[in-house]
Amino acid sequence: MSEVLGALDQHHVQLLLRLTLGGLLVLAAITKLTDRAAFQAAVAEYQLLPHALERPFAAALPIVELTLGALLLAGLGTAIAAWVAVPVFLSFSIAIGVNMARGRELDCHCFGSVQSEPIGWPSLIRSSALIIAALIVASGASAFGGVDALLLDPDGLPPASEIVPVVLLAFVIFDVIILLPEAIATQLSFDASYGSAGNHHVHHGDSA
């Protein structure tokens, strides 16, 4: 266990988490900004905020996400950006958890039109994992491979052989987080539709 915890302090793991979190925040912000009306409707659908606060929240959140995501991707002010990201991700977990407790079924709207996924344990676990990742980045505050490192030492940029594999792995994790839930939701929808059509066909045959 101590070896696992020690690995979390390594510069490469910090860079991997920073890039993944930054990419997810930027994507989430862009999808919300491209369809502000849809996101405001999504905020209202969660039924957590007073009506007067829904529009300001829907307007402010994408800007916050975009700013934090850009800072994390660049590795500029990493610790502050990661600490601020923690309550952002926490708010997502609370929103999902409260509506799950209410027994409501609604779309997560986590990444706008890019992903269509109903709230549930997968989305709650994912948002919780993002909180943990942000805490790791915030507490580690590694400047490795970021603008912070260049500001401290202009000649301290690590070689591409150390950076490129981490960037590629971050892309893989990013794709899994975005595409896997969408694929599962699509498969479940297909199974439900196919099963419903099959049952209808059976009943129709029985009645004949």
Question: What pLDDT is stored for residue 157 in this prediction?
Answer: 67
User: What is the DSSP secondary structure assignment for residue 120, as one 8-state letter?
Assistant: S
107: helix, strand or coil: strand
Question: What pLDDT is stored for residue 202 in this prediction?
Answer: 47
* Residues of the chain where predicted confidence (pLDDT) is lower than 70: 1-9, 112-116, 141, 145, 153-161, 179-208
Among candidates 14, 23, 47, which has minimal Cα distance to 162? 14
Question: What pLDDT is stored for residue 7 in this prediction?
Answer: 47
Packing angle of the helix pair 160-207, 121-140 (nearest 10 deg): 170
Predicted model pTM: 0.76
At residue 92, what is the residue type?
A: F
Integer Cα distance of 196 and 83 in angstroms: 47
> In total, how many domains does the chain have?
1
Domain that holds residue 103: 2-207
Question: What pLDDT is stored for residue 80 in this prediction?
Answer: 93
